[in-house]
Chains A and B, each alone.
Chain A
Amino acid sequence: MTPPVAVKQTAEVPSVPRWKQMLDSRFAPPVLITLILLAGNLSFGILESYQKTLLAIVTSIATEMVLGRIFLHKWPHPASAYITGISVGILLRSPAFWPYALCAALSITSKYVLRYRGRHIWNPSNFGICAMLVVASASVAGLSIQWGNNFAAVIVIWVLGSLILWRAKRFHITAVYVVSFFLLGFLRARIIGDPWQSEISPMTGPMYQLFIFFMITDPKTTVRTRTGQCVVAFAIAFVEFLMRLDQSVYAPLYALFWVGPTALFVEMWIDSRRTRAGGALNPQPARP
């Protein structure tokens, strides 16, 4: 995952001090996800072991450093790779060590291999985890179990996560997805006749906290416009809805896997049409 920093729409000089900007844009998400990890593990022991998560983080950062040096000719900031590693460490479940290293390496490498017009098109950890669930299903599973027994920890994470997303101007993505999930969950309950509580149950679990705060808000792999982001968030929820009707255990991850790149392709296609038509009145800055 990449931290949910706000994408600057103009080239104006920032009015806030650089250290404060750095704190907002680079460090807040890593700090939040680290808090989630520590709170979850110290209170409930969510990790199989610290070593596995550490392995994922180290592999992720090391891969990013090496590939960034080779392909971008610079040392990349480690925040993004750190979040990818820690997400792999939390979301992947395996008694073995190697899946954590492989998944982290796959996630970061996907950023450098699966590119189109200079952009990577999959959220790294989403790609890595989905790939592992397919190619290593005998050895790994996704996090599909509960952390705690009360809402306190969840509420703290939601409040912190929402504040960070609000400052990053990406809270609307999470809000649209969550509202869509609940509405579609009630609809699903009506369709299949299951208790509505069972349909909304996943949202109260830990996987969704990472999913809604870190994965679907990833600025590198979401579309630019606010309306587009809302549409994509709804589309993810809707595809997930369909997949859940088909009883897909990892429906949200797979939904993002398909919807995210599709949305980017559509956006690039629209951009190219506009460019060809010469109607680009407000050219967008190039993405890193």
Chain B
Amino acid sequence: MKRIPVARIILTLLFVGMLATPVILRRLSLRRGQPDAGHTDCQSALARYGFCFEEVSKQAEVNFVHEAPQLDPKLDPIMPEIASMGASVSIVDYNRDGWPDIYVTNSRTGSMNHLYRNNHDGTFTDVAPELGIADVNKPGTGVSMGVVWGDYDNDGYEDLFLIKWGKPELFHNDHGQGFTNVTAQAGLPSWINANTATWLDYDGDGKLDLFVGGYYPEDVDLWHLKNTRMMPESFEYAKNGGRKYLFHNLGNGHFEEVSAKVGIDSRRWALACAAADLRGTGYPDLFVANDYGVSELYLNDHGHFHEAGEQTGVGFAPKSGMNAAFGDIFNQGKYAIYVSNISEEGVLIQGNNLWVPQEGSGLHYQNMARDLGVELGGWSFGAQFGDLNNDGTLDLFLENGYISASKTRSYWYDFSKVAGGNSSIISDAAHWPAFDGRSLSGYQQKKVWINDGSGKFEDVAQATGVTDRYDGRAVALADLWNTGALDAVVANQAGPLLIYRNTVAPGNDWIEFDLEGTRSNSSAIGAQVMLVWNGEEQIQSVSGGNGFASENDRRLHFGLGKNPHIEKAVIHWPSGAVQTLENLTPNRLYQVKEPA
């Protein structure tokens, strides 16, 4: 008779214990994860983490503030949500002076884009107006959403493709002296509502091709809507977005659209893409992160693609993909893929994805974001891998924050109310409650996750000086002042452009490579460098656009840690040529031309 009461007491204690466990674990996790929250002393950060950031846009004489799109008044009630993108940043050495320059987009009709030329003295000067690439948001042509640079005609100078909600535009770089709009002769469509694009040589012919991922359907003019039924049909399974384009470079300034011919056919809502040779075939594969659905992975079979998202594991669970970045986080010669999504405590926990390739036959990925500590990043957008402290492992810089308006009133309830409904309701903007000055995942803390090299990332953003709370969209990494440290340039939606100058503690060495193709495309996009040092090996590739609405510096930057002995660097060129460099010394930039 006594057994049950005793058992019941034990069960009750167990029950209370189960209820308390998540709370206790959460508190322990917070205590472990944010030891220095709010602490931004650079010397302490240098001592503890090996680097610190200082926001220097004012000293650099960069006073750019992004302006959001202003669209059809029919969208006014939810304008903050619809007009929530457009801030982008890309790094380019447009005049080949050996110093990275910065191009940023603006998104209000009539606003100007800026090209900040690096003055080599810590300052920048906007030269976009005089070079002819500032006034690109003219009425009737749509507005800028991003830019990717690539030398499509192999003349040695990076050309500019302007991603727009509107008329896509291609500008030829006239040897750094100016730009010529060559859109008409290139044969591009008259209107694409795109947020992402990347240059790649998909068929290995030595000429850069261009992938463009549509977001809104191309027949939607967001300034002159026929009706308000232009929203996604689902927040998880939408296939009513913009089409995808693959422009094959014909070599005479003309491009041919070949997406259907080569196996790319999707109307998911693309927000980010990146290309790299994930299987060692010599051909770049294409990863597309889609909003309102699953990601897509187009594997390249010698110039023809097949979509293998579900087969490889990356395309099963639908989320809100907003970023695509590759990084060899374990120094194993393999790329992990980072995809950002949405996490809002108590409402929606999608979690960001870190797709890590698994051992075994065939390409298969496992999401290890939780295990490695890079899962929760708020309403995440752009992210980039880079060795921020030169310790020899790739770290991760993440931007986030969706709509920062009222600090006390949130739109989350209304968002969740409608987002769970049937397509006939959610696909019509008129059915959505008005924003009315409310925030949606606003004022979020950024993430700077440093990689400890043994499978854990630690967020040190606050401790290392990344303390802004703007609505971050794009981040690009570049050694802006040729110091051997990766700086970060951040584009904020309806906010200022931020330049985080990086100071790395003495002791950790580095090496950089500036590649130029000869048989391959001149930009060397798609070229991979496998660096071997101190028993480590890390692979990086030259990208024609990655992250979210961003493009890193062409130059590949490797941190080496202390007292490195560099064994070799093996370069796999897109042409198939393999070049091995030996006798390399740390703390140098190597300019490497592809052997003819």
Contacts and interface: CB of A to CB of B under 8 A. Distances in A.
B369 interface: yes
B422 A45 contact: no
Nearest to B22: A136
B477 to A, nearest CB: 27
Interface in B394-447: 410, 412-414, 416-426, 428, 430-434
B369 A95 contact: yes
Task: Categorize the interface residue count of chain A.
Answer: 35 or more
A149 B421 CA distance: 9
Interface in B1-32: 4, 7-8, 11-12, 14-15, 18-23, 26
A141 B316 contact: no
Interface in B269-292: none
Nearest to A102: B18
A102 B22 contact: yes
A206 interface: yes
Contacts of B237: 44-45, 146-149
A113 B15 contact: yes
A71 interface: yes
A131 B21 CA distance: 12
A146 B370 contact: no
Contacts of B294: 45
A205 B422 contact: yes
Contacts of A136: 22-23, 26
Contact of B350 (A95, A112, A131): A95
A106 interface: yes
A141 B349 contact: yes
Given A141-B348, A148-B237, A67 B422 contact: no
A267 B348 CA distance: 37
B345 A137 contact: yes
A201 B422 contact: yes
A201 B431 contact: yes
A277 interface: no
Interface string A176-213: 00000000000000001011011111101111000000
B19 A71 contact: no
A96 B370 contact: yes
Contacts of A244: 413, 417
A201 B19 contact: no
A72 to B, nearest CB: 10
Contacts of A151: 422, 424
Interface in A17-53: 44-45, 47-49
A205 to B, nearest CB: 3
A254 to B, nearest CB: 12
Given A113-B12, A140-B349, A106 B422 contact: no
Contacts of A131: 19
Contacts of B351: 95
Interface stretch (B110-118, B177-185, B228-236): B228-236
Interface string B369-406: 11000011000000000000000000000000000000
B417 to A, nearest CB: 6
B420 A207 contact: yes
Contacts of A113: 8, 11-12, 15
A151 to B, nearest CB: 6
B333 to A, nearest CB: 27
A248 B318 contact: no
Contact of B419 (A44, A109, A145, A154): A145
B251 to A, nearest CB: 42
A162 interface: no
Given A194-B414, A198-B432, A204 B422 contact: yes
Contacts of A199: 417
Contacts, number: 167
Nearest to B318: A45
A132 interface: yes
A148 B427 CA distance: 12
B421 A204 contact: yes
A93 interface: yes
B106 interface: no
B317 interface: yes
Contacts of B434: 194
A95 B14 CA distance: 25
Given A146-B420, A201-B420, A109 B349 contact: no
A65 interface: no
A131 B535 CA distance: 49
Contact of B421 (A99, A110, A201): A201
Nearest to B14: A109
B229 to A, nearest CB: 12
Contacts of B236: 44, 145-147
Contacts of B233: 149
Nearest to A135: B22
Nearest to A136: B22
A150 interface: yes
A13 interface: no
Contacts of B413: 244, 247-249
Interface string B198-233: 000000000000000000000000000000000001
B350 to A, nearest CB: 7
A70 B14 CA distance: 15
Contacts of A201: 417-418, 420-422, 425-426, 431
B367 interface: yes
30 contacts: A45-B318, A70-B4, A102-B22, A106-B15, A109-B11, A109-B14, A133-B346, A135-B23, A138-B345, A139-B22, A139-B26, A144-B416, A145-B235, A146-B237, A146-B423, A147-B236, A149-B237, A149-B238, A149-B422, A195-B432, A195-B433, A198-B417, A198-B418, A198-B425, A201-B417, A201-B418, A201-B425, A207-B420, A249-B413, A249-B416
Given A45-B237, A146-B237, 15 more contacts: A71-B7, A71-B11, A95-B351, A112-B8, A136-B22, A137-B346, A138-B346, A138-B376, A141-B346, A151-B424, A154-B422, A195-B431, A201-B426, A201-B431, A204-B425
